[in-house]
Amino acid sequence: MNRAAENVAGLQVALSHAAKLLDTEPALAAEQADEILRVAPGHPMAQLIAGIAARRLGDATRALTLIEPLAAAQPKAPAVHCELGLTYGELGRGEDAIAALRRAVALKPDLADAWRALGDHLTAIGDTTGADAAYLQQIKASTRDPRLLAPAVALQENRIAVAEALLRDHLRQHPTDVAALRMLAEVAGRLGRYTDAETLLGRCLELAPSFTAARHNLAIVLTRQNRAVDALAEARHLLDREPRNPGYRALMAAIQSQLGEYDECIRLYEGVLADYPKQPKVWMSYGHGLKTAGRTGEAIAAYRKATAIAPQLGEAWWSLANLKTFRFEPADLETMQRPLARSDIAHEDRFHLHFALGKALEDAARYAESFTHYAEANRLRREMIRYDADHTTGLVHRSRGLFTREFLAARAGTGCPAPDPIFIVGLPRSGSTLVEQILASHSQVEGTMELPDIPAMVRAITSGDAKGTAARADRTRYPGVLAELGPERLRELGEEFLARTRVQRKTGAPLFIDKLPNNWQHVGLIHLMLPNAKIIDARRHPLSCGFSVFKQHFARGQSFSFKLEDIGRYYRDYVELMAHFDAVLPGRVHRVHYEAMVADTEYEVRRLLEYCGLPFEDACLRFHENERAVRTPSAEQVRQPIYTAALEQWRHYEPWLGPLREALGPVLADYPAAPAFTD
Cis peptide upstream of residue 330 (ω within 30 degrees of 0): no
- Give 389-670's CATH code, choosing from 3.40.190.170, 3.40.630.10, 3.40.50.300, 3.40.50.720: 3.40.50.300
Say if residues 379 and 558 touch (Cβ distance below 8 Å). no
432, 157 in Cβ contact below 8 A? no
First-to-last alpha carbon distance for the chain, in angstroms, is 100
Got the DSSP string for 285-327?
Answer: HHHHHHHHTT-HHHHHHHHHHHHHH-TT-HHHHHHHHTTSS--
Average pLDDT over residues 268-275: 93
Amino acid 470: pLDDT: 45
Question: Amino acid identity of 424?
Answer: I
Sequence letter at residue 191 = L
Q: State pLDDT tens for residues 451-480.
A: 999 999 999 999 865 454 444 457 789 999
DSSP 462-474: HH--TTS--S---
488 or 155, higher pLDDT: 488
Q: At what angle do helices 347-363 and 314-321 cross, to 10 degrees?
A: 30
pLDDT value at 109 more than 70 = yes
Q: What is the pTM of this model?
A: 0.85
Q: Provide the pLDDT confidence category of residue 8 given band limits of 50, 70 and 90.
A: low
Annotate 622-655 with b (16+ C-beta within 10 A) or e (fewer): ebeebebbbbbbbbbbbbeebeeebeeebeebee
Q: Quote the CA–CA distance of 625 and 619 in Å, as a whole number.
A: 8
What is the reported pLDDT for 476?
A: 87
Tens digit of each residue's pLDDT (9 = 90 or more) over 273-324: 999 999 999 999 999 999 988 899 999 999 999 999 999 999 999 999 999 8
Average pLDDT over residues 160-184: 92
304 φψ region: left (φ > 0), alpha (ψ -120 to 50), beta (else): alpha
14-19 long-range Cβ contacts below 8 angstroms, 24+ apart: 15/45, 15/46, 15/49, 18/46, 18/49, 19/45, 19/49
The C-alpha atoms of residue 618 and residue 666 are separated, in whole angstroms, by 39
Strands 445-449 and 534-539: unpaired
Q: Alpha-carbon distance 415 to 396, whole Å?
A: 23
Average pLDDT over residues 334-346: 94
The burial of 37, by beta-carbon neighbours within 10 Å (0-12 exposed, 13-18 middle, 19 or more buried), is given as middle
Q: How many CA atoms lie within 13 A of 360 on its CB side?
A: 21
Pairwise CA distance, residues 103 & 224, whole Å:
32
| Integer Cα distance of 33 and 40 in angstroms | 10
The single-letter DSSP state of residue 553 is P
Q: How far apart are CA 447 and CA 433, in angstroms?
A: 10
Q: Are 589 and 537 in contact (CB under 8 A)?
A: yes
The neighbour count for residue 664, using CB atoms within 10 Å, is 24
Look up residue 424 and give its DSSP letter.
E
Q: How far, rounded to the nearest angstrom, does the alpha carbon of residue 558 sit from its chain's CA centroid?
A: 14
Q: How far is CA 571 from CA 130, 333, 430, 576, 659, in A?
A: 39, 33, 11, 9, 13
List, in order, residues 6 or more apart from 142 with CB less than 8 Å away. 112, 179
CA 316 to CA 300: how far, in whole Å?
10
How many angstroms separate the Cα of 450 from the Cα of each of 45, 401, 464? 56, 28, 24
Q: Considering Cα of 103, then 218, then 214, then 244, what sign does the dihedral take?
A: positive
Instruction: Provide Rg for the chain, Cα atoms.
Output: 29
Amino acid at 97: A
The sign of the CA dihedral 525, 526, 527, 528 is positive
Q: Is the pLDDT of residue 126 over 90?
A: no
Specify the 3-state DSSP secondary structure of 139. Answer: helix
- Comparison of pLDDT for 631 and 77, the residue scoring more: 77
pLDDT for res 9: 58
- Spell out a b/e string for 134-151, using b for 16 or more CB atoms within 10 Å of the CB, else e: bbbbbbbbbbeeeebeeb
Closest CA to 60 of 26, 24, 32: 26
pLDDT of residue 626: 65
At residue 471, the pLDDT reads: 45
**pLDDT interval class at 10 (50, 70, 90):** low
Q: Looking at residue 476, what DSSP letter applies?
A: G
Q: Where are the beta strands (DSSP E) in 418-552?
A: 421-426, 445-449, 511-514, 534-539
**β-strand partners of 535:** 423, 589
pLDDT digits (tens, 9 = 90+) for 57-66: 999 999 999 9
pLDDT tens track for 608-618: 999 999 999 99
Domain ranges in the chain? Answer: 389-670
Closest CA to 55 of 97, 23, 77, 87: 87
pLDDT of residue 139: 82
Q: How far apart are CA 455 and CA 447, in angstroms?
A: 19
What whole-number distance in Å separates Cα of residue 61 and Cα of residue 66? 9
Q: What's the average model confidence in pLDDT over 52-80?
A: 94
DSSP symbol at 279: -
